[in-house]
Chains A and B, each alone.
Chain A
């Protein structure tokens, strides 16, 4: 059973476009993280959100944690080729804070 569903699975856009990636679950998470993974490498942490309704910005990336702490979104403004990669959300469920459950990922390709 996949606890975290990401959508879309694949996204191919042109440079300059905006996009949103969604991460949804029926479970409540004490914290949620977003990672980016490039080919041949391990995932790299982008952000952690811990409070329901929290919004964090990292340059052109905006992350939001749902009020009920069951979902999250990642919005990229004016995408660049350097944003290309696999985006993964990962949640820590209450009482299991040391273990993360990962979503299946969204593969983003940004072309010139």
Chain B
């Protein structure tokens, strides 16, 4: 199916473990983004990518790593999860000529 999909939808992990959140889009959009959504903070940009092999930091990048070897995939890795990284994570994409983002359904991550 066309669209942007995130996996898993829910994840519980322990402090200190590495965890990877997946994002896949089928439109060949150039731009992809990772946001986290927390009460009182809204949506904050973690990392973004303008094309394959081009990534850059957003507002809150510490503790996260991204890669983009293929246009359609943009995984987000928490190298050593901390409780402060408990959040809902959203992936989004945007075409070059478009303004609006298309968001995935999110991954709810709990770090215990």
- Seen from chain A, the residues whose Cβ lies within 8 Å of a Cβ on chain B are 2, 31, 33, 40-45, 48, 50, 88, 90, 92, 98-105
Contacts and interface: CB of A to CB of B under 8 A. Distances in A.
A43 B103 contact: yes
Contact of A98 (B40, B43, B94, B104): B94
A42 B90 contact: yes
Contacts of A98: 31, 48, 50, 94
A2 B94 CA distance: 23
Contacts of A44: 103
Interface residues of B, number: 23
21 contacts: A31-B99, A33-B99, A33-B101, A42-B92, A42-B104, A43-B43, A45-B100, A45-B102, A50-B99, A90-B43, A90-B101, A92-B99, A99-B45, A99-B48, A101-B45, A102-B35, A102-B42, A103-B42, A104-B40, A104-B41, A104-B42
Given A41-B105, A104-B42, A99 B100 contact: no
A40 to B, nearest CB: 7
Contacts of B45: 99-101
Contacts of A2: 42
Q: Secondary structure of the B side of the interface?
A: strand
Contacts, number: 52
Contacts of A103: 42
Interface of B: 31, 33, 35, 40-45, 48, 50, 58, 90, 92, 94, 99-106
B8 to A, nearest CB: 14
Contacts of B104: 42
A90 B45 CA distance: 12
Contacts of B41: 104
A82 B43 CA distance: 23
Contacts of A31: 99
B43 A102 contact: yes
B53 to A, nearest CB: 16
A41 B101 CA distance: 14
Contact of A48 (B43, B44, B99, B103): B99
